[in-house]
Amino acid sequence: MCQSSRWLLSVVVVVAFPAAEGRADEPVAAAEWHVAPDGDDANPGTKDRPFATLERARTAAREQERSGDDYATIRLAPGIHRRTKPFLLDSRDSRLVISGPADRSARIHAGRPIDRTMMRPVGEGPMFERLDPAARGHVVAVDLGPLGMKDVARPADFYQDGGGLPEVYSGDEPMPLARWPNDGPATMERVLDKGKWDGPAAGRRGGSFMAREDRLARWNVAEGVWLEGYWRVPWDPATIRAAAIDAAARRIDLAAAINGGIGSKYAPKGELGDGKEPWWAVNLVEEIDREGEWCVHHSTKTLYVWPPASGADLFIARMDEPVVRIENATLVALQNLVIEGGLGDGVAIEGGRKAVVAGCTLRNLGGNGVVVRGGRDHAVKSCDVFALGDAGIRLAGGNRAKLEPCGHAATNNDVHHVGRRRKTYAAAIQVGEFRREDMPAVGCRVAHNLLHDLPHAAVLYTGNDNVLELNEVCRVALTSADVGAFYTSFDWTSRGNVIRHNFVHDCPRANAFYLDDGDSGDTVEANVVVRAAAGPFVGGGHDNVIRHNIVVDCPVAYHVDARGVDRGYQTNATLRKWLESVHPDRAPWKDRYPALAALLDPATDAARPRGVIVTGNVAVRCDKPLRTSAKPGGLDGCTLADNLDLAAGTGGNDPKFAAPADLDYTLGEASPIFRKIPDFPKIPFATIGLKRDAYRRTLPARSADATTPAEKAADADASQRDIEASNDAAAGAR
């Protein structure tokens, strides 16, 4: 999405060592070294006689004497800089910039190339007969041993993260793992046995179900057949080995149990399932039936692949460590680079201060794009992040006990098509890790990002005093449900987070802002939501403020419930443990969040939401402007008042959006909203989303969902059924 430009070595580094928001004075250049794919480490590292490796350039930078504001620069020439192990930067590498050409033609690549000479045709014989007739004559076999993969292991009976399988790429594009059906899932005809998932391990068993199709007769269960699916709920997929297949009866017995057993959690009472549970088969040689597909045959350590007709170079991702690791370094910058081809993360930053990844492309990775853990004031800025197995950007840091912020930021990034291997809880951007004391998030900022085309959430967040603002989000929850574009869950102490000035649109299977299962103390204000399952959604928590949001063309504008009564929040051990661990009756917590300490008092009914404020919001053409779900008196501790319903959205109820057909929801000066809600703010709509800077020269046009109105309605109905069923579940323990 960035306009390409020629690389000029004389150009001064665009931005070096920025603070978390990317602003800093230009440092003084001390020296620079050059690295090229055809270089030689015996060279002096000049432009004309470059080094061959990053390690040699790093050594040269370490040996240089620098002081004050001096910094060193390593410049990578265009081409592929191959890695077989992580490139490490540590405290000895402070004040160092590693920079590629402005057109991002320098690629740090951890993949193993698959030479065409390694490919052998699959001729007559048992394997040839197993191939789909359309694939015969196209599929080739590649021994994995010469690619350094003699140890490729058979997957476990149960996995949720790719199972140790590699990734295969053609040029810049990921190639699809063989699966059936090719597009979309199959659904169970009937659940036969939910399985047994608790008690002694020896007594557990996987579930059994009847398939609708006869296709499973082709599969060789003795060699291993793995099935992926959303077996019980639409946010918890897993891949499970088939222990037995009775093709005649279309019966499949699973080798491992899933928590709660297979069959929809929301099936009609008395039924084992609802006949809609999605599943599909993966990594079967029999299911290579189109160009680009591949699978790993574990017993023979062989890759079978149908190479694309384009003739593009193929490579395989196996290195499961970060491509670049930055540990306890200060003032380190990676800029204008492509980082790709690993099975692990692209960049891992731990400890240190003011490291920045700016203007980079992170793609074709089995793990996360960038992971920031600990340290202070690290930044991921103006990057393009996509085609990842896990999340896009993860931020964690700060001292939660002392409520000291880390200052990390993710700004101006375009993140999409992540979660290829871990399909849920692998968001475009994740702030903190749910209920993990070693991954806190205090004082992070997520701003001006474009987050789109995602299987689950756009932003997962937890922790304290984080600001999520000015982001554009669209087309999320594409393969899951019961989630939010912005999602947080199940923690009374995750407070002080501000979600403001975001634009969420065309997400019919997701709530825009989902404060799920007791999340408390957040402020959701001055956001614009268009065509989502719901706008702000408060699920049983305390002290949440929902204010001055605009929600357009949604089934539900705002939702508040008291689910904690039925779900036993008053005595929930996890909620209590986290509450007591932060000592809310002591400084600094009692000063920062004075309402929290009241939950310690046994006399306080912590199951009933208290302090929730929903006021000054606007619903435009929404079926239900405000939906509540609670027993009588269950929401007495909440303020739900002075919200505006422009039901028709026309005539005197026309909100006067600037150009909604072009996704411009700027309010005109004559909008009745300003008259009817005098303190309604002017939402800075024009500044939401990506912005131009030294790294991002052009911006993409906004686009709505490409699905038809009928498909949108079906998605919205399905999502709403899932959400309402979840809310109505009495015990609801996940």
How is the chain split among helix, strand and coil, in percent rounded to 5? Answer: 15, 35, 55
Quick check: helix, strand or coil at residue 485?
A: strand
Determine the Cα–Cα distance for residues 542 and 558; give it in Å rounded to an integer.
16
DSSP string, 56-118: HHHHHHHHS---TTEEEEEEEPSEEEE-SS-EEE-GGG-SEEEE--TT--EEEE-PEEE-GGG
pLDDT at residue 151 in the model: 80
Kind and range of the H or E run holding 675? helix 672-676
Strands 302-305 and 294-297 turn out to be antiparallel
Residue 498 pairs with which residues in a beta bridge? Answer: 467, 523
User: Tokens for 359?
Assistant: 């203007």
Question: Omega before 181 cis (within 30°)?
Answer: yes
In terms of Cβ atoms closer than 10 Å to its own Cβ (0-12, 13-18, 19+), residue 189 is middle
pLDDT at residue 26 in the model: 41
pLDDT at residue 7 in the model: 26
| Secondary structure string (H, E, C) spanning 248-273 | CCCEEEECCCCCCCCCCCCCCCCCCC
Quick check: helix, strand or coil at residue 599?
A: helix
pLDDT at residue 123 in the model: 86
DSSP 702: P
Determine the Cα–Cα distance for residues 682 and 302; give it in Å rounded to an integer.
60
pLDDT at residue 30 in the model: 65
Count the neighbouring beta carbons within 10 Å of the beta carbon of residue 273.
Answer: 25
291 Cα distance to chain centroid: 28
In terms of Cβ atoms closer than 10 Å to its own Cβ (0-12, 13-18, 19+), residue 124 is exposed
Task: Output b/e per residue, 323-335; b: 16+ Cβ within 10 A.
Answer: bbbbbbbbbbbbb
Count the neighbouring beta carbons within 10 Å of the beta carbon of residue 609.
Answer: 29
Helices (H) then strands (E): counts for the chain: 7, 55
HSE (CB half, 13 Å, CA atoms) of 95? Answer: 18
In terms of Cβ atoms closer than 10 Å to its own Cβ (0-12, 13-18, 19+), residue 274 is middle
**Backbone phi, psi, residue 379, to 5°:** -145, 145
pLDDT at residue 152 in the model: 85
Residues 6+ apart with CB under 8 A from 711: none
User: Tokens for 732?
Assistant: 């609801």
Kindly report, residue by residue over 34-62, the tens digit of the pLDDT.
999 999 999 999 999 999 999 999 999 99
pLDDT at residue 467 in the model: 98
**10-residue averages of pLDDT along the chain (734 residues):** 28 41 44 96 97 98 82 96 97 96 97 94 90 94 91 91 94 94 94 94 93 92 95 94 96 96 93 94 96 94 94 93 97 98 97 98 98 98 97 97 97 97 95 83 98 97 97 96 94 96 97 96 98 97 97 97 92 90 95 94 90 97 95 94 90 91 95 96 97 94 60 46 44 33
pLDDT at residue 1 in the model: 33
Strands 87-89 and 79-82 turn out to be unpaired
